[in-house]
Chain A
Amino acid sequence: MRKLTVFQKSNTAKKEKILNLLLGSSVITLFLVSWELLFQFKVVNPLFISAPSRVVLAEITIIKDGSLLTNLSVSAKEFLLGYAAAIIIGFPFGIMLGWFKLIRGSFGPFIAALQATPRIALMPLFIIWFGLGITSKIVVVLMSAIFPLIVNLRVAMTTIDSDLIHVARAYGASRWQIFRSIAFPTSLPFLMTGLRLAAGRGLLGVIVAEVFGGAEGIGYMIQYAGSTFQTDKVFAGVLVVAVTGITLDFTLDRLGRYFDRWRGEVAVH
C-alpha cells in the first residue's frame, strides 16, 4: 500500500513557489523580448516568423472585424457538444466497466483496441460519414475526450475501500446506497482528472479536425491564414487556443482540488 503523509505548507515551500514563478516568467519574457528584437533589427523575415508586436496587432484586428468571435463560437460549440457527449457516455460506462466484472470482460478488449487507434486518422471516415459540417468535429471531440474519462473512472472503481463496503452493508445499505455513498465519492477525484485530460484531448481534437477539413472555426482560421502566408494571424489563432486550454485546465484543477479537500495535503511515498 502507498504510504500517505500529511504535512503543512511550510514557509520554505511558499518561498520556493515564488522563486519558481519568477524564474518561469523571466524565461518567457526573455523569449518574447529576443523574438521582438530579432524582428526589430530585421534579423528574420517577418513573413515567416512574425513578432510578438505583430501578433498582438493581428489579435486586435480579428477581434475588431468579428472573425475571432464567429470562429471561436463555432469551435466552442463543437467542443462543448462533443465534451458533453463524452461525459454523458463515458462517466456511466467507465463506472460500469470498473464495477461489473462481466462488462469489463466483454468490453475491455474492444475499448483497449479503440483507444490504441489514433482518432485523428479516422477523420477522413468521419467526414465521409458525417460530412464537413460540425457533426464530424463533434464526433472527433467525443472520440478524443471519452477515453481518459472511461479509463479514469474504471480505475476509480478498483480503488474502492472494501472496508467501507463492509460497513455500508453492515448498516443495511442497499446496492444503490452503496453506489451513491461510496462508489460515487470515490470516483470524484478520478472524474476530475479524467475531465482535465479529456478537455486537453478534446481541444486538440477540435482544432486538428478543423484544420483537416472545414470552413469555419479557429482551426480553420489558422489553416486558412497559414495557406495565405498570414503568419501573424496564425500565431494569433494559436495564442487563442493556448489561452483557452490553460484557462480550462486551471479551472478544472481548482474544481478538482475542491472535491479532493477531504484528502488534505498529501505526499505519496
Chain B
Amino acid sequence: MDIIIAEKVNKKFKLKQGQNINNNGVASNQIEVLNGFDLKIKKGEFLVLVGPSGSGKSVFLDLVGGLSTPTGGVVYLDDKPVEAPSSKTAYVFQQYALFPWRTALSNIEFGLESRGVLKEERVKIARELLSLFGLSDFEDRFPYQLSGGMQQRVAIARALATKPEVLLMDEPFAALDAQTREILQNELIRIWEGTETTVIFVTHSIDEAVFLADRVAVVTARPGRIKEIIEIDLPRPRNGELRSSNEFAANRHKVWGALKTEVNKAQQDWKLAPQFSE
C-alpha cells in the first residue's frame, strides 16, 4: 500500500523583484524547481532521495510536510491531498534546529506540546527516547552543551516522540564528521527497523543512501523529477559490517551510475551561472 503519492507535481517560485533566471535562453522571473515529479512511497519503507544540489529535494519534503503547496499536481498522504502540516509527519533538518533555550528533554517535548499532550506524558515519552539514544545523562543540558552528533540525536528523538507515520529527514547527518555519521546511521537503522514508520531521507552520500534505503530514488537536475528508482537488495537487519561487503559495492555502483549524468548536468549549470547574472 502506498502512503504517499506524488502525482505530476510541479513547483515554481516567483523570484524577488530584480532577480532573473535563464531558462534555456529565456529570461524569466520564475524558477521552476519541480516538474512532472511522480513518486509512490510504500507504507513502512525507507526511501532515500539523491540528486544534485538545487534539484528540489528539500522543496519536495516541504510539500510532503505541508509547509508549502504545489503549483501543479497533488501530493497525497493516506489518500488525502496534503494542504497543511499533518500530525502524521515529523521533520528532521540538517541544521538540527533545536531550541537553544530548551534543555534536551524539553526540546524532545516540543512536538508533543503543539499536539496538546499533557506534561507528565510528554516527559515520559521524552525520557524513553533519550534512553533509546543513550542520552539519559544529558536530559538537562542545553544544546550548546551537546556535541553535533548528540544534538542531531535529540532532533531525531523530537521527531520520533510524535510517533510519526512519515518521517522526513533532510540531509540530517551532512554536518557531522564521517565517524559520527556512520554511528548515527547505525543507530537510526537499528531504531527504525523496530518501527513501522515510513522514512523519506535526503542525502548527498551514496554510501549513506545504500546503507539505509529500501529504495533509492534519483532526482534529475532542476527542474527535478524522478529519473530512476533503484531497489537496494541488501538483507535486514543491517549493521555496520555490511558496508564492506561486495553486495554493498554493487548497489553503490548502480546508484552512482544513475546519478552521475545528473550531477554533471547540474555542474554545467553552475559553470554557466556567472552568465546568468548579467
A residues whose Cβ falls under 8 Å from a Cβ of B: 6, 161, 163-164, 166-174, 177, 181-182, 185, 188, 261-264
Contacts and interface: CB of A to CB of B under 8 A. Distances in A.
Given A177-B113, A262-B102, 5 more contacts: A167-B91, A172-B115, A181-B99, A181-B113, A185-B99
Interface string B87-109: 10111010101011110000000
29 contacts: A6-B144, A161-B97, A163-B93, A163-B97, A166-B93, A166-B97, A167-B91, A167-B110, A168-B110, A168-B114, A170-B65, A170-B85, A170-B91, A171-B91, A172-B86, A172-B114, A172-B115, A174-B114, A177-B113, A185-B99, A185-B101, A188-B101, A261-B142, A262-B142, A262-B143, A263-B100, A263-B144, A264-B142, A264-B145
Contact of A171 (B95, B102, B162): B162
Interface residues of B, number: 27
A161 B102 CA distance: 14
A254 to B, nearest CB: 18
B93 A167 contact: yes
B142 A164 contact: no
Interface of B: 65, 67, 84-87, 89-91, 93, 95, 97, 99-102, 110-111, 113-115, 142-145, 162, 168
Contacts of A161: 97
Contacts of B93: 163, 166-167
Contacts of A174: 114
A164 B97 contact: yes
A166 B67 contact: yes
A262 B90 contact: no
Nearest to A184: B101
A181 B85 contact: no
Contacts of A262: 100-102, 142-144
Contacts of B99: 164, 181-182, 185
Contacts of A167: 91, 93, 97, 110
Nearest to A174: B114
Contacts of A185: 99, 101
A171 B110 contact: yes
